[in-house]
Structure 1
């Protein structure tokens, strides 16, 4: 299926790398509240959860930005990759329906016996990420406007100019759990795709 959309470390070390990006999203929130930035990306009122056994990315960049929607403005840490290959992908979203109750949609792909999920120009807008990570040739603290190893800021993203970013030639995430507001990609190939819709709350984690 093809659709058009938008060195080794332990977890403690990974957290040290991620914390500055989270701090950058807080700075963006302050700038937005003071009118210095206008939120642009329109997102739904529901977050979704994603898990993956492994994600291998090339051309990695991360920076703070702001998503907006009817539910308000949402500071996020954007992860961008030139290309990514994902094993055992699960994505779930729970939609509350008046009177009827919660409805869950669960999508799975790239599982046992299937080729991995492949994406190009992939951007993930998340506010919570848990994983083990290995970066190759990582640069921490570069200007978001001067990154060279990834796809650069996504078109239309709102961020503080010259704010904190990090980049790497390659990245590997394992045992990924994340909560996101949006995912966009130039190309998203889902091998072994399966989708289910069920009553009640059935999430990937």
Structure 2
């Protein structure tokens, strides 16, 4: 019985952890192709993303609804950047493992040189920064009239995208001490200097 129980827990461990590791590896080596924020069904699990500085050019902010594989609807705010630089990136997700307890997958990068991203979309449920500096910002523009920043093409064609809803856009933005809770993040291209990925026992998120 003990041997059979151990085998079962490790199968569950692999079933839960391996997809997350694969996703993080793809993120870290920049294999994401195109703007994918609404082109896949999300898991619905929230993860943390932090950065010392996130600076972007061509910025859009608009509401959206993501859909889980089970069909649950998750309201989010999408932060879009035509080009972004991220200093000291940290991404973490806590994964509950039966029998073994919680494990944390942590991805870091952007030390020394910043992370570079193009067509970056962050589907967030919470965003906080110690300081936000913007240039040429428009608050209250209709989502369908946003031109300064990107709108995910998949979002624009989604039944959940309202072109008349409240949105924001800016020529550029600099966010300091960023703390984001997100359900999905994607980029057309992603270059992560000093990429590191590790699995830690316990609950050890980025913030």
Q: Which residue of 1 aligns with 2:42?
A: 43
SS state at 2:144 partner:
helix
* Over 3 Å off, 4+ runs: none
8 Å CA contact 1:137–1:170 kept in 2: the answer is yes
Q: Which residue of 1 aligns with 2:197?
A: 195
- CA-based RMSD of the aligned residues comes to 1.6
Report the CA distance between 1:40 and its aligned residue. Answer: 7.3
Cα shift readout 1:38-92 (whole Å, capped 9, x = no counterpart): x975111311001100011000000000011137211001000100000000000
More strand by share: 1
| Aligned positions, number | 171
For the residues of structure 2 that align with 1:3 and 1:40, how far apart are their CA atoms? 15
Where in structure 2 are the equivalents of 1:1-205 lying within 5 Å?
A: 1-4=29-32, 6=36, 41-69=40-68, 70=70, 72-111=72-111, 114-131=112-129, 132-156=131-155, 157=158, 158-205=160-207
- TM-score, normalized by length of structure 2? 0.78
- TM-score, normalized by length of structure 1? 0.79
SS state at 1:43 partner:
coil
For the residues of structure 2 that align with 1:45 and 1:82, how far apart are their CA atoms? 25
8 Å CA contact 2:103–2:202 kept in 1: the answer is yes
SS state at 2:154 partner:
coil
Give unmatched runs, 5+ long, in structure 2.
1-28
Give unmatched runs, 5+ long, in structure 1.
7-38
Q: Which residue of 2 aligns with 1:9?
A: none
